[in-house]
Amino acid sequence: MKNKQYFKQLRRYDPRFLIGIILVGIISLIFLFSFLKAFFVVVFFIGANTIFRFYKRFLPAVPLELEFITFGSLFCAIEFGISAGIAVAILGSLLADSANGTINAYNFVMTIGYIIVALVGIFISPEHFIQAGITITVIYNIIIWSVFNFLLHHDLFKNTSYSITNVIFNYFLFTIIGSFALSIV
């Protein structure tokens, strides 16, 4: 009972109480804004990849690998931390493929690769995002090409076409959109 009266009196007469409440509110808003910014960027990359990958539904025989996951998982890992990068890697890959009805064993191998891309992202500074992104894309595609070709015995022409189109597409993503994306966030 005495505590309630003390706080009522403190609120009336002591400006430190009001300043404390305002500071707590401002700090809470800053954390909320940071979380919401990260949340919306992660959802953007997952949604963009899911929508963009609809071409596979209409062109299933064309061996193209156009995806935003490599760019998105690396970007989110650098900007927002490893959990955001892994969320884009896993959800972006699996949701896009399940929405398009193209989920198979290859998707799980690629998802593991995207997770590794996100894990590497925590060691990269934003200043080296574009160069590192292109390098990681090339290394990722060499590894995936090798796994698909030698272990899973994937068709050589399709496998090579997937890798080349993925490197070219991600090269354009990193060089054209990379610096713009870093400047926004």
> What confidence tens digit (pLDDT) does each residue in 84-129 have?
999 999 999 888 888 777 777 778 888 899 999 999 988 888 888 9
Question: What stretch of H or E contains 75?
Answer: helix 69-80
**Interacting residues of 11 by C-beta distance below 8 A, sequence separation 6+:** 17, 18
The residues, ordered by sequence, that sit 6+ positions from 22 with a Cβ below 8 Å of its Cβ are none
Q: Give the percent of the chain with pLDDT over 70.
A: 90
CA distance 84 to 81: 6
Structural domain boundaries in the chain: 38-184
Mean pLDDT, the chain, as a whole number? 85
12: pLDDT strictly greater than 80: no
Global pTM value: 0.80
Q: Cβ atoms within 10 A of the Cβ of 12, count?
A: 9
Which residue type sits at 5?
Q
